[in-house]
């Protein structure tokens, strides 16, 4: 296969977007990749269009909101300031394959395609991305549904993060996406030796509302002596206000530590010294109900026992491979009970089972799914020429 000219669009800070970074590593195997997104040029990109930080990726201008309110979806598709910036920056350039990350990038990908195949990688269930926000639910969700209905069947490939969400796209939009999990690269690590005095819990991710981070703090307080919790949290888009509330909630408790965030590549190695990776996210919306996030696979590569709530996709993996413990619910008492059910010997045995499953649950599998997608869409493009 001749080297491809590939365009990868992601309206995110790509250098902090673990899924897109892994995707870029695969795309770069096939040719030169031009990226479009916020922040500086990622390592695997041959060229980069940096979107100014102040430009929104949704039509949040006065005119854009008017289009949403008037249900002018087709006119609103490309109205976001970030989309307009990208279209102008790339005008006249030609590519062999275009990758759109998330639904908001799909119309721009098709507008730039000039007949080239588009691969739509949907990182979640797009129609309910932020349905906990009223304005998003009323104005943006209908636009996301329009984009999915209009463009998914026109795309040469569609992928998403888990089987449950793939089923939703098939049900509502008549495409069956390939499943590319949020797995991370295999790490040559061994389970750490337990501290005989303390069971060391850890959580990594973003400090944003709705993830039940308060329950982790309250559960650690309830567990008392012999347990600790380390948090590696990236401040959310609120300037760190929610993170500061969490720190205040911990109240200076010595068993809870807030650590500086680390890069996706460094995370498994940093987490390796702990015992249990925790994530108890209540099913307040569809994406939370079916979540199978980066952190789950980071915990696997760190060789940690895993403690989650009864979230469908995470529970299925934990139960099927005996990777940890699933709480009966998401209340603090239920989370505490699940942690207390694990003895030090249980944790050591579980970490060994996680170690045994680490290759199967690594990006070495999911990367092959990505490669098959690139080969397939590139062959589609060649056949069309």
pLDDT digits (tens, 9 = 90+) for 113-155: 999 999 999 999 999 987 777 787 888 999 999 999 999 999 9
pLDDT for position 203: 97
Same fold for the domain at 4-183+363-384 and the one at 199-357? Answer: yes
Which parts of the chain have pLDDT scores under 70? 381-385
Beta bridge partners of residue 34, listed in sequence order: 7, 47
pLDDT for position 195: 86
Record: fold of 199-357: Rossmann fold (3.40.50)
Q: Would you report the helix, strand and coil content of the chain in percent, each value rounded to 5? A: 45, 20, 35
CB 154 within 8 A of CB 147: no
How is 330-365 classified by DSSP, letter by letter?
A: SSHHHHHHHHHT--HHHHHHHHHHHHHHTTTTSHHH
| 305-319 pLDDT per residue, tens | 999 999 999 999 999
Instruction: Say what the pTM is.
Output: 0.91
Query: What is the second-level CATH architecture of the domain 4-183+363-384?
Result: 3-Layer(aba) Sandwich (3.40)
- Torsion over CA of 177, 365, 161 and 35, rounded to 10 degrees? -90
Rounded Cα gap, residues 318 and 307, in angstroms: 9
Sorted by where each begins, the domain ranges of the chain are: 4-183+363-384, 199-357
């Amino acid at each position: 296969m001749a080297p491809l000219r590939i365009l990868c669009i992601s309206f995110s800070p790509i250098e902090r977007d673990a899924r897109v970074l892994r995707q870029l590593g695969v795309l770069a195997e096939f040719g030169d990749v031009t990226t479009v997104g916020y922040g500086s040029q990622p390592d695997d990109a041959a060229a980069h269009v940096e979107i100014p930080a102040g430009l929104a990726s949704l039509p949040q201008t006065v005119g854009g909101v008017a289009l949403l309110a008037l249900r002018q979806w087709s006119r609103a598709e490309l109205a976001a300031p970030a989309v307009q910036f990208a279209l102008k920056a790339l005008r006249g350039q030609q590519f062999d394959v275009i990758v759109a990350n998330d639904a908001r990038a799909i119309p721009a990908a098709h507008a730039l395609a000039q007949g080239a195949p588009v691969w739509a990688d949907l990182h979640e269930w797009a129609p309910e991305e932020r349905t906990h926000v009223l304005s998003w639910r009323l104005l943006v969700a209908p636009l996301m549904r329009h984009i999915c209905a209009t463009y998914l069947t026109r795309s040469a490939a569609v992928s998403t993060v888990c089987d449950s969400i793939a089923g939703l796209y098939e049900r509502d939009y008549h495409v069956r996406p390939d499943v590319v999990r949020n797995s991370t690269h295999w790490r040559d690590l061994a389970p750490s030796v337990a501290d005989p005095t303390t069971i060391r819990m850890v959580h990594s991710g973003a400090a944003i509302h709705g993830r039940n981070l308060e329950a982790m703090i309250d559960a650690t307080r309830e567990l008392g002596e012999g347990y600790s919790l380390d948090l590696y949290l990236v401040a959310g888009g609120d300037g760190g206000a929610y993170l500061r509330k969490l720190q205040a909630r911990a109240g200076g408790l010595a068993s809870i530590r807030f650590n500086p965030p680390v890069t996706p590549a460094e995370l498994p190695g940093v987490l390796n010294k702990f015992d249990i990776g925790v994530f108890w996210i209540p099913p307040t919306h569809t994406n939370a109900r079916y979540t199978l996030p980066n952190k789950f696979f980071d915990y696997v590569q760190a060789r940690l026992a895993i403690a989650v709530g009864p979230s469908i996709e995470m529970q299925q993996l934990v139960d099927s491979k005996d990777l940890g413990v699933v709480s009966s619910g998401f209340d603090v008492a239920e989370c505490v009970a699940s942690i207390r059910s694990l003895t030090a010997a249980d944790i050591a045995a579980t970490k060994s089972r996680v170690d045994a499953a680490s290759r199967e649950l690594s990006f070495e599998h999911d990367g092959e799914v990505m490669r098959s997608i690139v080969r397939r869409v590139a062959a589609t493009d060649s056949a069309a020429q």
